[in-house]
Structure 1
């Protein structure tokens, strides 16, 4: 491999792991449980999936590009319980997890835009 960015650019598990490691290294996680998931398929179709496992609720937040070759990201919150009752400090901790996930998703979107610009794929 020559180190060139494939066309169209791919944000595979290895690229995303580096970005997540950078985010974690900057001290932005507040102890969040972040996982870069392996996806089915070959490297040419892997666009990346990052998961924040919620500690204060039975669920997770999934983040990924909106579509193949799309630099814009979206988040999906999956909570297995239909109702969550907790004291205020627990709800505050859950809120902090959501903020970390939102910040991470914004960071990944920024890095994707930067990655795509570097490849010459997107102008903006």
Structure 2
């Protein structure tokens, strides 16, 4: 699958987060869909990072929602990340369509696409950049 990033910063952050993961999870589409969302939104990365343990494979999403304050759009993206990871949250497609601006809407759609198709274990980032 060719991954579409929002911009160079999103791609760089994704690569950094992926390299920080335990080897076992680096190609896991559930984990990578969360990392993809976190890498595309600095506030989400800052608020979600301490609850998403990529070394041990844990996501303390209940604690995250109890302890963190999210704006409405970021709450939808955070809920989508949890939903794509383990289905512990529900997010309405209508919320994604109506509450997210164009950039975050694309981030959400691409995360869903990422969760479905993942990446191959031998994936190398292509020379051709696919930014939106």
Bin for the TM-score computed over the shorter chain = 0.3 to 0.5
In terms of fraction of residues, the more helix-rich structure is: 2
> Which has the higher Rg, Structure 1 or Structure 2?
1
Higher relative contact order (CA 8 A, sep 6+): 2
In terms of fraction of residues, the more strand-rich structure is: 1
TM-score (normalised: structure 1): 0.36
